[in-house]
Amino acid sequence: MAVQPLIDEDLRERILAAPEVILEDRDVMRALIAANERAMGANIVDLRAIAMERLEARLDRLEDTHRNVIAAAYENLAGTNQVHRAVLALMEPADFEGFLNSLAGPVAEVLRVDAARLVLESEQADSGARVPRLDDVLAVVPPGFIDSYAGRGRGVPGRQVTLRQIVPEDPGERIYGPAASWVRSEALVRLDLGAGRRPGMLALGAEDPHQFRPTQGTDLLGFFGAVFERALRRWLA
C-alpha cells in the first residue's frame, strides 16, 4: 500500500536541496519547535528547546543594543556637525555688532533654538542700561544674577552647561524679554570673560519643553561655549 506524502513533493525537494533556508527563518523554526513540543507531549521537557528560547531572547537583546548604539552614534555625529556649522556661522561676521547679532540669527537657526541671548552682568543694569540695536541678542543683568538664575537661587556652584525646563519661578523675562512667555526649556552656558571681568552666560531657549533635558549630554554645547567665550574675549580686548 502506497504511503501518501504529507507535503508536496516539489516543496519537499526544495527543502532537501537547501535546508539552511529553514534554519535561517526564525518564524519557521519557532513553528517547527512548537510542533515538536506538541508531538512529545506535556510530560517531556525538551532542554534543547529551552536553550534555544534563551539564546533567542539573548539575541533579541543584543540586536536591540546594536540598534541603540548605531542610533546614538548617528545622533552624536549629527550633533557634532551641527555645532561645527554653528561655529562657522559665528566666525563669519567681520565686526563686533555682526558677531553678536549672528547669535540670534544664523547661529540660532543652525542650533535649532527659538531664542539665543548673551547675558552680561553690569552695575548699571538696574538703571536701564541697554543697547537698542542688540535688544534681540543682549541681556544686561545685575551682578550675581547669572549664578542665581542658573542655580535657581540655591547658592550652589553652577556647572558650565545647564539643561533644564523652565519653571514659573524663573525670572526669564530678564533674559528673553517678551519671548519668555513661550520659552519652555533652555540651555545655559557659563562664560569666563577673563580676569577683571564679570562672568557671562549664553542662554539658548526653545519652545519645545523637551528640547533641553538634564539627562542629555553637554559636551558639544560646552565646546560651542568655549569657542564663543574665546571669540568674545578677543572682541572685548
pLDDT tens digits for 91-104?
888 888 889 989 98
At 128 the three-state DSSP class reads coil
| Per-residue model confidence as pLDDT tens digits over 50-91 | 676 777 778 778 877 877 777 666 677 777 888 899 999 988
Task: Give the model's pLDDT for residue 53.
Answer: 73
Task: Give the model's pLDDT for residue 1.
Answer: 46
Query: For the range 28-35, what are the long-range contacts, defined as Cβ-Cβ under 8 Å and sequence gap of 24 or more?
Result: none
- Measured between alpha carbons, how far is 82 from 220 in angstroms, rounded to an integer? 9
Look at residue 105 and tell me whether its pLDDT is greater than 80: yes
179 closest CA partner among 87, 113, 114? 114
| One domain for residues 83 and 16 | no
Grid coordinates belonging to 7: 507535503
Distances in Å between the alpha carbon of 72 and those of 78, 103, 138?
10, 28, 34
| One domain for residues 29 and 129 | no
DSSP code at position 215:
T
| One domain for residues 152 and 92 | yes
Average pLDDT over residues 145-162: 79
CATH, residue 159: 3.30.450.40
Give one word for 65, left, alpha or beta, with left for phi > 0 and alpha for psi -120 to 50.
alpha
Q: CB of 22 within 8 A of CB of 28?
A: yes
Q: What's the pTM value of the predicted model, to 2 decimals? A: 0.67
Grid coordinates belonging to 66: 546594536
Tell me, yes or no, whether 73 lies in a domain: no
Average pLDDT over residues 22-32: 75
Number of domains in the chain: 2
Q: CB of 109 within 8 A of CB of 121?
A: no
Tell me, yes or no, whether 2 lies in a domain: no
| One domain for residues 113 and 205 | yes
Mean pLDDT of all residues belonging to the chain: 81
Tell me, yes or no, whether 125 lies in a domain: yes
- Using pLDDT thresholds of 50, 70 and 90, give the confidence band for residue 201: very high
From first CA to last CA, the distance across the chain in angstroms is 104
Of 182 and 169, more confident: 182
| One domain for residues 158 and 219 | yes
- Measured between alpha carbons, how far is 21 from 12 in angstroms, rounded to an integer? 13
| One domain for residues 39 and 119 | no
At 200 the three-state DSSP class reads strand
Domain coverage including residue 166: 79-236
